[in-house]
Amino acid sequence: MSDTSTITNKLAALLSDDDVYVAGARVIAQGGSPAPLAAVLTEIDATVLERTLVFSIDDVNVSMIVAGRRLRGFTDVSGNLPEAANVIGKVLSRDDAETLQAAGDLMLLLCASANRVTVRSLPATPFGTGADAGLSANGLATLWHINLDDKPAALIERYLSANAADLSAYIYVSNGDVVKTVGDVATLDALWSTQVTEFRKRHRALLPKQDGPRLTCLDEPMGEGSTVAIAIDGNDVGLFSYKRSQMPRLVSAWTASLG
Amino acid sequence: MVVDDLDALQEKFAVCDTIAFADLSTQMILVTNSATSLPREGLDNLCAEAALTMGTKRRQFLGTEPSSSAVVASRGQVRLFLRAKAEPNDILCCVSTDKLDINAFLAEAQPLLEKLSTGG
């Protein structure tokens, strides 16, 4: 059998009830949920036998040697990132604080705004001398200041934060309470107070089958030059105005966040 | 014929399943592209969604004036509604995958809508 990894991946997919696969790779984080770096560390923590884990963090592939629920080191990082140069091929050890920090910086950089993270488990390749065991996921989480138990932010909260640069102002409402406002929200606040409840009620009555998360972008709903969008996910609502030229990008970011 | 114009636009944007010319005053889809997969109920819902999101002359559910366009994005799908400048009851509706190039579509769809609206 020439490629046991393919079969292993297919068997894993068949055995899994909830996991989502993209091109044979298992999706471990999508749209910031769970936090990408926490998802990577959780995979390391779940790997007992020595394997090469290949994480695809958006368009960057990071290959790591993992064994005994510990990260031993990085074997490859695609894209010729200068930040990866000090990390590839080095065994991670508490005795080498510089490499540990460089590895943390690299992963934080890659994961900071990653939309999708997938993982493949491949056979291990020879790495290091065996004199060091690597670092556990919990140890790395402590060193890199990652809380593995953090609950991910809600979809709309993440979306608004990630796209704040293209928004003129926004209101984030969760379970009826205004949780966050940014910018001049007088108009948005008026819409929230007077129209959103009725809009949602009408929507549910007219289109009961379309009650999933959705983003609606309106051009000129308050007169010439105005823009308003409403993002809805269950009891969470985001109401925002945006730069008109950025509407296609905002729509694309929304659909990407839904997976 | 209107259907030929809608078919031509759909051929340019193959990710669109449905492109429809509709009248918001009666909330009726008047003509669709010939290859649409939406059944009658789906078309009715599309028109209802257009009226709810963009608003009509009589009532706006979000905003104070009828919007000139609306884009609704849900998982894997984008629905786009465009209002004619000359006759605000005339609209173009589009149902597409989320791979639609929205800017390119709008650049082609708005002139087509004006043409259909004015009977040109």
Is the domain of A9 the same as that of A118? yes
What ipTM does this complex have? 0.95
Compare CB distances from A217 to B60, B70, B76 and report the shortest one's residue: B70
| Residue A235 CA: distances (Å) to CA of A160, A212, B75 | 16, 11, 17
Q: How many domains in chain A?
A: 2
Is the domain of A76 the same as that of A192? no
Beta strand ranges found along A140-255 (DSSP E): 167-174, 177-182, 214-219, 227-233, 236-242
Nearest chain A alpha carbon to B65: A221
Judge whether residue A13 has pLDDT over 60: no
In a domain, A148, yes or no: no
In a domain, A149, yes or no: no
Domain that includes residue A186, residue range: 155-258
What pTM was estimated for this model as a whole? 0.73
pLDDT of residue A114: 87
- Cβ contact B75–A215 (<8 Å): no
Is the domain of A22 the same as that of A123? yes
Is the domain of A37 the same as that of A68? yes
- Cβ contact A255–B78 (<8 Å): yes
Which CATH number do you get for residue B92? 3.30.450.30
Judge whether residue A195 has pLDDT over 90: yes
* Interface probe, candidates B43, B72, B78, chain A, greatest A C-beta count within 10 A: B72
Is the domain of A16 the same as that of A125? yes
In a domain, A249, yes or no: yes
Which CATH number do you get for residue A176? 3.30.450.30
- Cβ contact B78–A213 (<8 Å): no
Chain B partners within 8 Å of A252 (Cβ)? 98
pLDDT in tens, A156-171: 998 998 899 999 999 9
How do A135-136 and A116-123 pair as beta strands? unpaired
A178 pLDDT band, cuts 50/70/90, is: very high
Average pLDDT value over all residues in chain B: 94
Backbone angles phi, psi at B16, to 5 degrees: -80, 130
Domain that includes residue B97, residue range: 2-117
Distance to chain A for B47, nearest Cα, Å: 11
Q: How many domains in chain B?
A: 1
Is the domain of A11 the same as that of A112? yes
